[in-house]
């Protein structure tokens, strides 16, 4: 017998809880804004600049050994992550990250970064090889990359632009697909999800990098999918029960789609939690953002987007303002 996360027929008055949800959301948004303004984001090398070096990690050399060998040469924190190679015989990999180094004397920022990279590589070679000759060397640089402050700033701006464009296009789509009230409700929920996720990153100090931007865009898409499903059912129920109070119509729609919403969120979270626990440090920040985003996105599609539509009201005529031919809503 299959375990049901949600009964088939329910009559939960979600909209009676919208004022409590409003207080929670406003408090969370204020806290997120305060954290972003005071603590800020722990920007990764993608956005803050710096260097990334990947080397083959011998079995007798630990991440702590690498960190202890490199840290005295670097101003600021050195991050060392171990990752398993792909393939049955692939060696383990150590990923060393450090932020831009201050110039010494007449050095340019690029020269300072190159000098630091050379010194780190020399220290790593001495650690890995020990007394071995060049012919018996175990030291292997798999990749090495450096991001300057100018490039990192451009990447950060590009990431913010990508988020803004995604939100704008989705608002336009929902306006055509449904009505402008639905569009405003959906975009309000998306802003809510993105700001809370960024606030959580400020609180936990997880690294904020390009992978995090990808996670935020995924959260936007996931939350929008949930919201569209609820809205499609709201529109259907509003046509069917034209004399029923709108809050009751919204409750009917949410109850009808809740089983599907919980099933989708639950299975998605199982996969994401597995990645968070076993995917290693490289994937931990991205998987954390997705886990938090799925939870918040599910919440916002019920209590934020639907509440905004209820506040603004909708046209409950026989015909919607605009239809997209061939689209089938999911219930």
**Per residue in 196-255, pLDDT tens?**
999 999 998 888 888 888 888 888 888 888 888 888 888 888 888 877 888 888 888 888
Residue 3 has pLDDT above 60, yes or no: no
Paired tokens of 17: 């809880």
Residue 175 has pLDDT above 70, yes or no: yes
Residue 11 has pLDDT above 80, yes or no: no
Confidence of residue 311 (pLDDT cuts 50, 70, 90): confident
Residue 23 has pLDDT above 90, yes or no: yes
Report the share of the chain in percent with pLDDT over 90.
13
Can you give the pLDDT at residue 95? 82
CA distances in angstroms from 148 to 64, 121, 212, listed in the order given: 27, 19, 19
CA distances in angstroms from 291 to 75, 185, 294, listed in the order given: 33, 23, 5
Residues whose CB is less than 8 angstroms from the CB of residue 170 and which lie 6 or more positions away in sequence, other chains included: 186, 187, 190, 220, 224
Alpha-carbon span 331 to 321, nearest angstrom? 21
Can you give the pLDDT at residue 323? 44
- For the stretch 183-202, pLDDT in tens is 888 888 988 999 999 999 99
Confidence of residue 325 (pLDDT cuts 50, 70, 90): very low
Residue 90 has pLDDT above 80, yes or no: no
Residue 24 has pLDDT above 90, yes or no: yes
CA distances in angstroms from 232 to 59, 81, 272, 310, listed in the order given: 56, 45, 27, 14
Question: Is there a contact between 176 and 252 (Cβ–Cβ < 8 Å)?
Answer: no
Alpha-carbon span 81 to 42, nearest angstrom? 17
Question: Hey, what domains does the chain have and what are their CATH numbers?
Answer: 14-44+151-312 (1.20.1640.10), 50-147 (3.30.70.3220)
- Between helices 18-38 and 305-312, what is the axis angle to 10°? 120
Q: Which helix (H) or strand (E) holds 82?
A: strand 78-83
Residue 170 has pLDDT above 80, yes or no: no
- Taking the CA atoms of residue 263, residue 265, residue 271 and residue 272 in that order, the dihedral angle to the nearest 10 degrees is -170
Residue 77 has pLDDT above 60, yes or no: yes
State mean pLDDT over 121-142: 81
- Find tokens 């995090």 and name the residue: 212
Report field, pTM of the whole predicted structure over 0.75: no
């Amino acid at each position: 017998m299959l375990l049901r996360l949600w009964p088939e027929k329910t009559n939960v008055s979600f909209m009676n809880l919208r004022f409590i949800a409003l207080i929670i959301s406003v408090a969370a948004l204020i806290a997120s804004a305060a954290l972003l303004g005071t603590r800020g984001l722990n920007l990764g090398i993608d956005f803050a600049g710096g260097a990334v070096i990947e080397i083959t990690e011998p079995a007798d050399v630990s991440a702590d050994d690498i960190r202890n060998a490199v840290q005295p040469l670097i101003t600021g924190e050195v991050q060392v992550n171990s990752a398993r190679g792909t393939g049955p015989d692939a060696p383990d990999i150590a990923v060393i990250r450090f932020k831009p180094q201050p110039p010494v004397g007449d050095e340019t920022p690029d020269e300072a970064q190159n000098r630091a990279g050379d010194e780190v590589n020399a220290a790593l070679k001495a650690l890995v090889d020990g007394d071995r000759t060049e012919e018996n060397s175990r030291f292997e640089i798999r990749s090495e990359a450096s991001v300057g402050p100018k490039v990192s700033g451009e990447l950060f701006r590009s990431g913010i632009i990508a988020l803004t464009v995604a939100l704008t296009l989705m608002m336009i789509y929902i306006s055509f697909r449904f009505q402008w009230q639905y569009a405003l409700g959906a975009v309000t929920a998306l802003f809510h999800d993105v700001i809370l996720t960024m606030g959580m990153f400020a609180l936990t100090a997880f690294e904020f990098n390009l992978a995090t931007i990808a996670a935020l865009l995924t959260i936007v898409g996931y939350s929008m999918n949930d919201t569209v499903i609820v809205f499609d059912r709201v529109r259907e129920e509003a046509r069917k029960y034209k004399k029923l109070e709108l809050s009751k119509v919204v409750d009917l729609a949410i109850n009808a789609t809740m089983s599907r919403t919980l099933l989708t969120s639950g299975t998605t979270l199982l996969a994401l939690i597995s990645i968070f626990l076993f995917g290693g440090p490289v994937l931990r920040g991205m998987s954390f953002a997705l886990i938090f985003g799925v939870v918040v996105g599910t919440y916002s599609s019920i209590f934020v987007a639907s509440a905004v539509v209820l506040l603004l009201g909708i046209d409950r005529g026989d015909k919607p303002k605009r239809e997209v031919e061939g689209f089938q809503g999911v219930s």
